[in-house]
Structure 1
Amino acid sequence: MSVDIGIDLGTASVLVYVKGKGVILKEPSVVAFDRDTNSIKAIGEEARLMLGRTPGNIVAVRPLRQGVISDYTVTEKMIKYFVQKAMGRRTFKKPRISICVPSGVTEVERKAVEEATYAAGAREVLLIEEPVAAAIGAGIDISKPCGNMIVDIGGGTADIAVISLGGTVVNTSIKIAGDDFDEAIVRYIRKKHNLLIGDQTAEDIKIKIGTTYPLVEEETMEVRGRNLVTGLPKTITVTSSETEEAFRDATGQIVNAVIGVLEKTPPELSADILDRGIMLTGGGAMLRGLEELIGEKTGINTMTAEEPMKVVAIGTGQYVEFMAGRRDF
């Protein structure tokens, strides 16, 4: 009884896809451990709730930074935990695991992901580039000689690639993504309102009223934090147009990266992209106004995949079947 598993090992969350069952697990990639005993206290959602709220001896960390392993042992334990949780205890054979990596990772970083996955109990490990996995998961037939452009915005990196015949033709990976949007909000509110807020509050603002393109109707939200002048807790009201202003720098860099990839694309594939449009995937693609912004700046129709958070995990899980289908010729 061998199982094929696809893991989207993200900076912000880990998704696990099991063949025949779909995406069965989605948890934040956060691990809380006790410094005194060096033991792991919590993994996933439970640990995320501890971020910024722990006593001195317990630390809640994200073992992946910008799509790359920053803490090897913790990552290995985290992968092991998620694999066991996804498969249950009744396994006789080690699983074959496909795992995705950002397109710009170095050989050393790839090796680290591979070794951590083997250490977590994999029989065989396949590494897949994020844009390729995203394209398969979004239901695009990438085996045809036809250009498809994917913009995958995760928590730590944004991967932009033009894919044809099952591989990437032109790609770039920039370390600007969901986490940077959160940081931009924290910086903006500190500068404009003299208020210090935490990362989770910033994420709430981003999800509820965040936009990268001016909205027809202004939206507002009450935000609580610590006043930097008096040092006391304070409540302010933040508007959606303020978030657009806060995001401007980060979204500008993503748009420039998209334009940079389009400039390097061979003309035949450029014509295909103009016909087919640009596909946005990843959690960052759920930020309002990105479609309109990229569409306006490039002049190419831009759309978001159906379940942008899950497409990379689905594509990672289906990659084995996709490759098997291609070997038949």
Structure 2
Amino acid sequence: MIFGRLLRGFSSNIGIDLGTANTAVFVEGKGIVLYEPSIVAIDTKSKKILAVGKEAKEMVGKTPENIQAIRPLRHGVISDFEVTQAMLTYFIKKVLGKSILKPKPITVIGVPTGITPVEKRAVEDAAKSAGAREVYLIAEPMAAAIGAGLPVEEPIGNMIVDIGGGTTDIAVISLAGIVVSNSLRVAGDEMNEAIIQFIKRKLHLLIGEQTAERIKIEIGSAIMEEEEKEMEIRGRDMTGLPKTEVITNHMVTEALEETVNSIVNAVRTTLEKTPPELASDIAERGIVLAGGGALLKNLDKKIEQETGIKAKYAEEPLTSVAKGLGKVLENIDLIRRISME
């Protein structure tokens, strides 16, 4: 036991928000030290990894046939085990460095609430293969709520809506437990895809994922704005030639309507299943939004319009889960109480 404590003192334990779009790593005593895209570039002929993270993202849609930019996670879970393992190994080595004397870290990983036992095992195995000593899986909305500073251990109803790249996780939390939850495989990626398909249908223009992401960030809105804004976009027409078109914020809101409604309806369904005492706490305290997907303009207003409950953003929505995992690392008893079986 004394040896275990000594080992813990020497090792830099880590929290990993393993997201579909981005991975954030929190190192005990240092804070968030890495925030990079969950993308790996591989040479399909030699199977050699050419780039990971930011470098790999720059290659998306621009690679020759033999180089593939792979996103090894889909809807918050592992879709390519070997590539995820390689990506985790790269990120862990990058933040901790290589040292023979340094013990393997205790690793806490955020995962969606709707994860299956097979998917859980894949995350645990990938982390252990990448160099973790012990692996604890924490539900992402629980981690996001802790990162947002909500009093999760108190007998108070806290509602968190964590919208990432691949999943939207909604949870009502009280006494360090998830009372009601809803995991939806509709989030930021689906918003991008909706924009791509809308532009293809309406403007007969083919655009890539990165252009769709830029459109969403610059002129996207969850509700129809009074003022019309325009944005020039480039892609290729149906004959394959480069073409420039103009898109408006009203068109983007129309493109996103179905996806946004799916998320809002999931929030309403979760509220309907919430015990009355906790629901009254939420009505008083509001709904907290976290995750990159939640940053879509006016999403807070849309949720408030549809539920009648004030929605507000966590202080740092993009890193709420990673910050929460970092806080959990300081409390081994809390890790054991809230980790998934």
Could you say which TM-score interval applies, normalised by the shorter chain?
over 0.9
2:17 equivalent in structure 1: 8
Alignment of 1:99 onto 2:109: yes
- Determine the C-alpha separation between the residues in 2 that align with 1:116 and 1:238: 42
Alignment of 1:318 onto 2:327: yes
Q: Give 1:177 deviation, angstroms.
A: 0.3
Alignment of 1:277 onto 2:286: yes
CA contact (8 A) 2:328 2:334 kept: no
CA contact (8 A) 1:214 1:244 kept: yes
- Determine the C-alpha separation between the residues in 2 that align with 1:93 and 1:64: 28
1:162 equivalent in structure 2: 172
Q: Give 1:219 deviation, angstroms.
A: 1.9
CA contact (8 A) 2:136 2:335 kept: no
Paired residues, what number?
Answer: 327
1:146-161 alignment, distance < 5 Å: 146-161=156-171
SS at match of 2:318: coil
Q: Deviations over 1:104-141 (max 9, x none)?
A: 01111001100100110011111000000000000112
Amino acid in the other structure paired with 2:107: I
2:7 equivalent in structure 1: none
Pick from 131, 135, 140: which aligns with 1:121? 131
- Determine the C-alpha separation between the residues in 2 that align with 1:311 and 1:221: 31
Q: Deviations over 1:70-116 (max 9, x none)?
A: 00011001001001111123461111110011000111100110010
2:91 equivalent in structure 1: 82
1:70 equivalent in structure 2: 79
CA contact (8 A) 2:230 2:249 kept: yes
2:276 equivalent in structure 1: 267
CA contact (8 A) 1:151 1:160 kept: yes
- Determine the C-alpha separation between the residues in 2 that align with 1:69 and 1:25: 20
1:206 equivalent in structure 2: 216
CA contact (8 A) 1:4 1:317 kept: no
Q: Deviations over 1:278-323 (max 9, x none)?
A: 0000000111010000000000000011110001011112213245
* RMSD of equivalent CA atoms: 1.4
Aligned pair in 2 of structure 1 residues 326, 42: CA closer, same or farther (>3 Å)? closer
Pick from 170, 173, 178: which aligns with 2:183? 173
- Determine the C-alpha separation between the residues in 1 that align with 2:323 and 2:156: 22
CA contact (8 A) 2:328 2:335 kept: no
Q: Give 1:214 deviation, angstroms.
A: 2.0
Alignment of 1:219 onto 2:229: yes
1:191 equivalent in structure 2: 201
2:313 equivalent in structure 1: 304
Deviates more, 1:245-254 or 1:207-216: 207-216
Alignment of 1:239 onto 2:260: no
SS at match of 2:330: helix
Amino acid in the other structure paired with 1:256: N
SS at match of 1:118: helix
CA contact (8 A) 2:235 2:244 kept: yes
Q: Give 1:325 deviation, angstroms.
A: 6.1
Give TM-score scaled by structure 2 length: 0.93
SS at match of 1:221: strand
- Determine the C-alpha separation between the residues in 2 that align with 1:160 and 1:37: 42
Amino acid in the other structure paired with 2:135: V
Give TM-score scaled by structure 1 length: 0.97
2:3 equivalent in structure 1: none
Q: Give 1:227 deviation, angstroms.
A: 1.2
CA contact (8 A) 2:40 2:56 kept: yes
Q: Which runs of 5+ in 2 are unaligned?
A: 1-9
1:291 equivalent in structure 2: 300
2:263 equivalent in structure 1: 254
Deviates more, 1:301-310 or 1:216-225: 216-225
Amino acid in the other structure paired with 2:63: T
Deviates more, 1:84-93 or 1:265-274: 84-93
- Determine the C-alpha separation between the residues in 2 that align with 1:204 and 1:327: 40
